[in-house]
A and B are shown apart, each in its own frame.
Chain A
Amino acid sequence: MTLSQKQKQYLMEFFRILAVILIALALGFLITLLVSEEPVQAFKELLTGPLPKISWTEAGLKIRGINRFGNWLEDSITLILVGLAVAVVFRAKQFSLGAEGQIYLGALAAGIISLHTSAPAFIHITLALLAAAGAGFVWGLIPGILKAYVNADEIVSTLMLNVIAVQIYRLLLIQWLRNPDYGYIATDFFPETAVLPLVIPGTRVTIALFLTIIAVVATWFLMTRTPLGYEIRVVGDNLKFARYGGINTRRVIALSMAVSGILAGLAGAHLSMGILKQLTLNISFGIGFEGIVVALLARNDPKAVPLAGLFYGYLRTGAQIMERSSDVTREVVLIIQAIIIILITAERVLPLIQQWRMRRKLPQELSADHSEAAHVA
């Protein structure tokens, strides 16, 4: 069986990213060596921690650590949704970093619907999810319009909107939504009709798992099978070409950020309606920014995002376990993440290495050719 050109390209890309990950992990291990007294143990926890421990005992099959496995999946769900959000805007070459704020407002909107309306479960959940998606859409549309129509730099504007979003969230939580009887700042737990139903018992993996799969397919469909997706890709590849080709680039830029907001808003709904089941002062802990590495690992391709999200979620969960059971903090994952981003974006590394190998090979080949030529002559 021979591979088509496209498949070959995919395969090359896959191995390149695999190499990047291995190099980043190796460098992370080297750094750990410098500070840790038990680096091997620490890295073993990092790399195997999230897996459930399956063992045969006399009582039969025994699975331990299912909650760790659950943590991995829960975290991956958030990462995949945020990764999709980032992949959409990055594909349009917009460097929106607004996912964090959109997560907060998505969670807030879902929380308000959950706590202040009542309906049968199916309708209640649907309404809350729609509210979260809507909040994310609006909070993505604002920097989108600012960029498209006023050319306001989206990096600065989204970072500032993140701060505003978190403060809106806290304002409403503290002034209105919180239950003052609790010793900490939080709302009541959501009514059962507004909590996402559990899928894997013993974990917090809910139907958000299926919603995420739907989101992946929907985003893939949007980007590859709809006019808007086509326009987003053209705008991302060549803005001038898109403009001359008659695409309303302003509309496309604004919408790319808004659509991205929908996905991040849903990630917020997953956190509030599936994981916490209430609103607390902190909900995301910066996970909005982790979407960047997920999108980059997936090369902004929606159908590769789940794999990237699962990988990075695995690393994050492993890092938490490592932090608990060794003298290395989980921040080592941020270092590994930074190395991954730099290596993936450094596009000329591979050609440079090839060039270097060619240069080393060339003299020998030349001499070989030479002798062959001499032979023929």
Chain B
Amino acid sequence: MSLDTVLGSIFTVAFIATIIRISTPLILPALGGLISELAGVINIALEGLMLVAAFLGVVVGAYSAQWFPGWPGWVYPWLGALAGILVSLVLAWLLAFVHLELGADIILAALAINILAQGGTVFVMFALTGDKGSTSTLASPALPNIVIPFVNRIPVLGVLFNAENMTGYNIMTYAALVLTVLVWFVLYRMPFGAHLRAVGENPEAAASVGINVRRVQYTAILLSGLLAALGGLNLSMGYLTIFQANMTAGRGFIALAAVYLGNRNPIGTVIAAVIFGAATALGAQMGTLNVPPQYIEMIPPFVTIAALVIYNLRRQAQLAANARKFQDKLEQEHGAG
């Protein structure tokens, strides 16, 4: 395939649909990472929490058809989703507990949770299916897609709002959209959000005005577990309808990078997650070119590192500018006095 065809396929609405689909499982955990980061308890375990939720969603979704044979079919995927969310919350609580009550380093404890998720999912998958690679033997259900009515007849909007085959986006894509607004609202328009940010800025000061620091941090970690779980469920019950060993493939960490690149606010974080999604989608498109795939695989990590550097350089420049302003102000006052 020539470069022209690739370029042609990039500047299409279908490509935007691809970016939206790839970005969803980045946006959700990124919002979770943002909440925990702002509360001063950075959650490195997003990756593992996504993985266990993805796994349990598939397994419980598949088995609930055997456990509750009489129930309507649409219930099963939701039972799976519920199980996935619950197990992610349990592990997030464990992380919060060992960090806040037992004094464990939150980074090391989170790395342990990731290892537990990676080993535990394969361990249980083998015990259940005899397969260490994927749950291909289980008939696992998908969470529904949402189709926007009427727009399908309009050429461009049809693809934009309902993806290439007019089958709609997964419900988690819409959840990501709603949650972005909700997270922004909670963080900047509700007392809890103010408390949370205060705790992250300066826990002693927050405690001195009567904020229960520990409870806020527990809540923040649990919320990040919830959001990571939704991202994991999107991977195994929407994007694909199967669980594969280690299928998160670093998304939890890219989500963390999105938090930094997005300047630690919800809108920026989501934009950053979409940029990472676009880089991945671009890589997939370029796969059709006669370029060794290794070059393409390097694009997302390279973009991530570049983003990390840009964020920090900007931050340093900001700090320097603030310091200069302060200095000027001092001199002015001095001169006037």
Contacts and interface: CB of A to CB of B under 8 A. Distances in A.
| A and B are partners in one complex rather than unrelated chains | yes
Contacts of A163: 250, 297-298, 300-301
A341 interface: yes
Chain A's interface size range is 35 or more
Contacts of A31: 123
A35 B126 CA distance: 9
B297 to A, nearest CB: 5
Most buried by A among B118, B292, B294: B294
A195 interface: no
B289 interface: no
Contacts of B124: 35
Contact of B305 (A152, A292, A333, A342): A152
Contact of B294 (A174, A333, A335): A174
B123 A35 contact: yes
Interface stretch (B57-65, B97-105, B328-336): B97-105
B109 interface: yes
Nearest to A167: B294
A334 interface: yes
Chain A at the B interface: mostly helix, strand, loop or mixed? helix
Interface string B122-141: 11101100001000000000
Given A150-B313, A331-B119, A348 B102 contact: yes
Nearest to A351: B103
Contacts of A188: none
A339 B126 CA distance: 20
Nearest to B255: A156
A329 B245 CA distance: 14
A249 interface: no
B107 A95 contact: yes
A155 B44 contact: yes
20 contacts: A31-B123, A35-B123, A146-B309, A150-B308, A152-B308, A152-B312, A153-B256, A153-B260, A155-B256, A156-B256, A160-B301, A167-B295, A168-B298, A331-B126, A337-B119, A338-B112, A341-B115, A348-B102, A349-B102, A352-B102
Given A168-B294, A338-B115, 14 more contacts: A150-B309, A151-B312, A156-B253, A156-B257, A163-B250, A167-B298, A170-B294, A171-B294, A331-B120, A338-B112, A338-B119, A339-B112, A341-B112, A349-B102
